[in-house]
Structure 1
């Protein structure tokens, strides 16, 4: 018996006409666009992507070798949806939300057979439900009726399904009680006949409803100096990390997943190498959440769709991730979604499109590439939810342009949508400068709206200090062109000194060691103080230069090189205060 035969809504209603990789054509199938179907004698899961006359085209989420014409195609009549409820955190899924650990247990081996399936959440596990409303209370769509402790870090809020009531409509709670329930049992009854359980389903290609999308005003603090200090992203913002092979895209996303101050992390490994996802799966359960000391996986949901998995499932994994993120956003949480990488997702679309014989666009990508990218990133944002809470989804997508060519379609179409651009540079990576983010090509359009937060929570002159650093780095870029022609010694003393200050900015401030226990995370306060230390050296050095001290003597001071060791200092405030005094005393002693 196939999976479909055990589903009440299943309609057996078609046969396979042809098979082309993950694309299967069926005839006599009564289906609608995006219906989930089960293909062949093994019941392989697929989704309807085209209907033309009597022929229905299906993209299959599993390997189709051995499937042939004449085998049955069964329609569920339902779109591709995810199971939502407690149990999604500390879980590892494939691209269509099948729990990999559960499937491994079924197979009794790490190799999965085709046609196996399991619910996205455990339908039998019981959770302790604590009501937050009483009988007689009025509730609307999305309102929280109770909580369960999903992990040691996160309380899962049980909500009235958003499609149970019309917008603005309310109804009375007629029954609710505390106790131990599985996710399918009714925990609250409403006067309009709705039975509320901990389990919801939602179509992955449809955004969950909200009241209003608002302008984000709070940064997603990452602990990475070059990001927080120069190119910040807002909670509810969008960012792209393009870069060639080996430039550090995945490590940058790992750092964000580990240290960003989001309540929930959804990490989507979309078509990347298996060893990279293995690193995530092995590392994350052992990592300690820097915010509270609990395991990091207690607030993380992983979706693993590696490059050797079926290409069609890769196309859906992005939507699976963003739907899970929206669900936690509805609870009022700030969610950060990491998609690594959207280029592999676009390549999956290109392969499916070519098998459908659609008219190709630039470089063979489908003509709707830009629209699909926009649909994904537009689901991020800072929202007022239907239940009156506020929550955010921040979407950070890695892009893998072939040969590091930022002019290719995926990078260019992503740039038109996102507001933060962290451009990784192969030359910096080769020089072991990490994170290898090119400060001349990167930008953030959130700076102006986030500056008030930094000025309130860190220092009032945050924006001025950042601009000072940007000006020094811009000047260094111009001077380097001259240096390459005539050499550094041909420059005037003040420009030689500017290059020295810029060197400290690059080596001490912009570089950061992801594998050092202290330097791996830099709070905004430390980021600010490091910048002020370099500025102190700049001001004192130029004062000495004006007093007639040779630039060679200024550069050879003993105190200044200690700037490069600020990042690894745990008690940085005392170290920085002592260093500033040492720099001033030594340079002033020269004149």
Structure 2
């Protein structure tokens, strides 16, 4: 719906346009620019000038072209049809755009975000006389084979139900419930809501981070876990595996819904993501993975202003499904491209630059984005969460640049990808010496109760051995490994077992691509049992050269392939194998 306010373009600077004077527009209002009705947003107001950023290419605009206000903020449509869909940064459905306008998005395209003609099977969950508040669930719609869409009363609406439709097939714009508010006004509720992308959706309560997001990736679940409703950054240079790590998250994490935001990525990489996701099968349900995924594709050749908006579009869609009681994980790939869009827009606005040309408000923008994560009690008293995993692409792999450093301030989990590990074909290429998770102490009670009492202790021992290996390698580089005492040689050998047999994981192996928590614990227990038995031998002056003659270390490394996820009883056989190794060494030196 258009407002009565209009203005004329006075100046143009790339995606930024200026209007002379005050034309009655509001801050953050969506406007339509020029004859092609390009979508824009008011980002600056003074009595003498109105500043607008345009989400589409501004080539061809000229001073004097008309700008029309819409009276509302930049918003997204929330209704059945989001899951399984692919949108651009301002929620235009790319499949529909391609169907009507071809493979390339033309400017000024006006397409409904969601299909307004499709009939959905609707089950009404309220009856006349019920008192409804913001967030109350009024209908359930099987959106996909994996997701039941729960249509809700908009957060700012309440009233008594006066009329309901019968269960049946309806479009997203058909009235299904009618309510009367306290002033006697009649409001018709449909399956659709509109919500401004820059405003967080309201919640009732925020919970502490006491439940992990299980991913099946050992280095994450065991060494650097993330909580449901938590925040994490995956920084890494080109080719270190950011996208592949996020793919594993999307496929295996125990989130109910995945929102993947390709923000400013290369077109061929986004094509690969779209093709891969359409072929993947959800291992939990056997249904296509897209049945619980929505994709936002904003490639590097699209206008930078739309790139800046895509992050907010994605987080708003995630919050909507969180309000239904789902656990949602957002993959933002990458926040560096988003920050570069902020830098370009800031330059066009002639703002004072801060470090490396980024705007001074980079930190506040990042914090506002990550702060929208959390494990919440919703207005309808269901519980849901939004977990944000942001990829960072520092130029040249330099983690001291502003985006990485500011991101570290606002996330509690940092998975630093290392190019030397990636080039050595060690994946996931998460460097255990520079990564960290602040969630471990919060999650420890859950691990102790649900996995094993010694889980945290085993994890700490594993990480301690890897850290000790790093210190010893510094000595080895200077004087070689031959001069080390046997107890230190043993640490190097066990650390190799940990690196190859536990930390390294094969995404294409059926037993290794996903590992349940019970198996992760048993793998640690076997490795540490081998260390304790071997250390007893070394303490009795058995040389490491003698221990290496046995193939026990290689057998423990191969556990990840040889023991399937449903064969956990086999771990007892490996402990007997270690005891046999111990007895054989003792017999040799009797």
- Range class of TM-score, shorter chain: over 0.9
2:69 corresponds in structure 1 to: 75
Aligned counterparts, 1:240-389, within 5 A: 240-389=233-382
1:159 corresponds in structure 2 to: 152
1:43 corresponds in structure 2 to: 37
2:57 corresponds in structure 1 to: 63
SS of residue paired to 1:370 = helix
Contact 1:247–1:429 at 8 Å: present in 2 too? yes
SS of residue paired to 1:490 = coil
2:575 to 567, 575, 580: 580
- CA distance in 2: counterparts of 1:184 and 1:96, whole angstroms: 20
Contact 1:559–1:579 at 8 Å: present in 2 too? no
- CA distance in 1: counterparts of 2:160 and 2:215, whole angstroms: 42
SS of residue paired to 1:348 = helix
Q: Which moved more, 1:489-498 or 1:191-200?
A: 191-200
Map Cα deviations across residues 292-328 of structure 1 (whole Å, 9 max, x no partner). Answer: 1111100101000011111110000000000000000
2:201 corresponds in structure 1 to: 208
Contact 1:216–1:236 at 8 Å: present in 2 too? yes
Q: TM-score, normalised by structure 2?
A: 0.96
1:33 aligns with 2:22: no
2:213 corresponds in structure 1 to: 220
2:411 corresponds in structure 1 to: 418
- Deviation, structure 1 residue 71: 1.6
1:52 corresponds in structure 2 to: 46
- Deviation, structure 1 residue 12: 5.9
Contact 1:237–1:419 at 8 Å: present in 2 too? yes
- CA distance in 2: counterparts of 1:199 and 1:292, whole angstroms: 28
- CA distance in 2: counterparts of 1:171 and 1:367, whole angstroms: 48
Aligned-pair RMSD on alpha carbons? 1.4
1:13 to 6, 14, 32: 6
SS of residue paired to 1:278 = helix
Contact 2:17–2:51 at 8 Å: present in 1 too? yes
- Deviation, structure 1 residue 572: 4.4
1:481 to 464, 474, 487: 474
Task: Write out the 4+ residue segments of structure 1 that deviate beyond 6 Å after TM superposition.
Answer: none
- Deviation, structure 1 residue 81: 0.1
- Deviation, structure 1 residue 70: 1.8
Q: TM-score, normalised by structure 1?
A: 0.96
Contact 2:2–2:71 at 8 Å: present in 1 too? yes
Map Cα deviations across residues 20-60 of structure 1 (whole Å, 9 max, x no partner). Answer: 11111123543111111111221111111112334221111
Contact 2:311–2:332 at 8 Å: present in 1 too? yes
1:558 corresponds in structure 2 to: 551
Map Cα deviations across residues 118-174 of structure 1 (whole Å, 9 max, x no partner). Answer: 122111111111122222222221111120100000100011111113xxxx63454
Map Cα deviations across residues 391-422 of structure 1 (whole Å, 9 max, x no partner). Answer: 10001101111111111111111111111111
- CA distance in 1: counterparts of 2:354 and 2:541, whole angstroms: 64
Contact 2:230–2:374 at 8 Å: present in 1 too? yes
Contact 1:557–1:587 at 8 Å: present in 2 too? no
- CA distance in 2: counterparts of 1:69 and 1:568, whole angstroms: 66
- Deviation, structure 1 residue 244: 1.3
1:3 corresponds in structure 2 to: none
- CA distance in 1: counterparts of 2:328 and 2:6, whole angstroms: 41
- CA distance in 2: counterparts of 1:543 and 1:264, whole angstroms: 49
2:177 corresponds in structure 1 to: 188
Contact 2:5–2:24 at 8 Å: present in 1 too? no
Map Cα deviations across residues 494-543 of structure 1 (whole Å, 9 max, x no partner). Answer: 00001100011111111111222331111111211111121121112112
1:449 aligns with 2:442: yes
